[in-house]
C-alpha cells in the first residue's frame, strides 16, 4: 500500500513475491534489521553532534579569552595614560597657578590706579592681591573680596582696568602693539568714558608706550566723535572704518 502496489485478481503471497522479485534491480533481496546496529548508529550520531557542539563552544571560549586579553591590555594602556594625563594636568595646573601669581603681582600695582581713573564711583580705596592656600583673590581695603563688593557695571570697569594693567605689565616681556576693544558703552554704565579716552590718548602719545594701534568698536556716534576729537587733538592719526570698508 505504501508503494502503491496493485494486487492482481486472486493474487496470493507467492505470486506477489514473484512479481516484486522480477521488478527488483539493485535492492537486496533480504534486509536484516538489528536493534543493536540502529542503537549504535544513533549513539554515533549523538556523539558526533555533541562533539561538534563541544568544538564550537571551545572555539567561542578561545575567542572570548583572546578578546579578554586584548581588552585587558587596552585597559592597562588606558590606565597608564590616565595616570600620565593626571600627572601632566597637575603640572599644567601648577604652572597656570604660578603664572597667575606672577601676573597678579605684576598687574596689582596698576589695578587701583587704573580703576580709579576709569570708574565713576570711587568706592574702593585700595586693591590687594591675597594668596590664600595657593589660590589668588583680590580684596579691597576692608579685606573683602571684590566679587562681593562690586556691581556688575563696576566689575566690568574693573576687568577693563585689569586688562590695561596686564597690557602695561606684559610690555616688559611680550610686546603686543595692536589692541582691539569692543563697544564699552553697551555693557559698562559705570565707566568714565571721557577719562578712558584720555587714558588711551596718552598711551598712544608715549613713544615708549605699549600701544601703537587700537581698534575701537562703537555704535554710539557721540563716543565716535569724542574719540576722533581727542585723537586729533593729541596729534594721533585717526581713521574711521564703516561697514562699507569690509564689503
Extract the C-alpha cell encoding 80: 597608564
pLDDT at 78: 92
- 10 Å Cβ neighbour count for 150? 22
Torsion of CA 101, 105, 110, 115, to 10 degrees: 40
pLDDT tier at 169 (50, 70, 90 boundaries)?
confident
Longest dimension (CA), the chain: 143
Q: Are strands 127-132 and 178-181 parallel, antiparallel or unpaired?
A: unpaired
Task: Look up residue 7 and give its DSSP letter.
Answer: P
Q: How far is CA 46 from CA 37, 41, 42, 53, 241, in A?
A: 14, 9, 6, 11, 92
Helix (H) or strand (E) holding 178: strand 178-181
Mean model confidence pLDDT for the chain: 78
Give the tens place of pLDDT for each residue, 94-120: 888 787 777 777 777 777 777 777 776
Dist. CA 9–CA 19, nearest whole Å: 13
Query: 192: closest CA among 122, 119, 123?
Result: 119
Tell me the mean pLDDT in the region 13-24: 80
Torsion of CA 223, 225, 227, 228, to 10 degrees: 160
Give the tens place of pLDDT for each residue, 34-73: 788 778 888 888 888 888 888 888 888 888 888 998 899 9
pLDDT at 13: 85
- Are 49 and 57 contacting, i.e. CB atoms less than 8 angstroms apart? no
Amino acid at each position: 500500500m505504501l508503494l502503491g502496489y496493485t494486487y492482481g485478481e486472486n493474487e496470493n503471497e507467492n505470486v506477489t513475491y514473484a512479481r516484486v522479485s522480477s521488478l527488483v534491480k539493485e535492492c537486496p533481496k533480504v534486509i536484516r534489521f538489528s536493534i543493536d546496529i540502529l542503537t549504535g548508529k544513533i549513539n554515533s550520531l549523538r556523539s558526533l553532534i555533541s562533539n561538534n557542539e563541544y568544538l564550537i563552544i571551545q572555539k567561542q571560549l578561545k575567542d572570548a579569552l583572546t578578546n579578554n586579553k586584548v581588552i585587558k591590555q587596552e585597559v592597562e594602556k588606558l590606565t597608564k595614560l590616565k595616570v600620565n594625563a593626571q600627572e601632566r594636568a597637575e603640572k599644567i595646573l601648577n604652572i597656570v597657578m604660578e603664572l597667575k601669581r606672577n601676573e597678579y603681582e605684576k598687574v596689582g600695582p596698576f589695578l587701583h590706579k587704573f580703576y580709579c581713573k576709569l570708574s565713576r564711583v570711587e568706592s574702593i580705596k585700595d586693591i590687594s592681591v591675597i594668596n590664600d592656600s595657593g589660590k589668588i583673590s583680590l580684596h579691597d581695603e576692608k579685606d573683602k573680596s571684590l566679587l562681593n563688593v562690586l556691581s556688575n557695571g563696576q566689575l566690568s570697569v574693573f576687568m577693563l582696568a585689569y586688562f590695561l594693567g596686564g597690557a602695561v605689565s606684559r610690555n616688559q616681556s611680550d610686546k603686543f602693539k595692536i589692541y582691539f576693544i569692543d563697544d564699552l558703552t553697551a555693557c559698562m554704565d559705570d565707566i568714565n568714558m571721557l577719562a578712558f579716552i584720555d587714558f588711551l590718548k596718552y598711551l598712544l602719545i608715549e613713544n615708549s608706550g605699549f600701544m601703537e594701534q587700537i581698534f575701537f568698536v562703537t555704535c554710539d556716534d557721540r563716543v565716535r566723535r569724542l574719540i576722533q576729537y581727542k585723537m586729533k587733538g593729541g596729534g594721533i592719526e585717526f581713521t574711521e572704518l564703516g561697514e562699507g570698508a569690509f564689503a
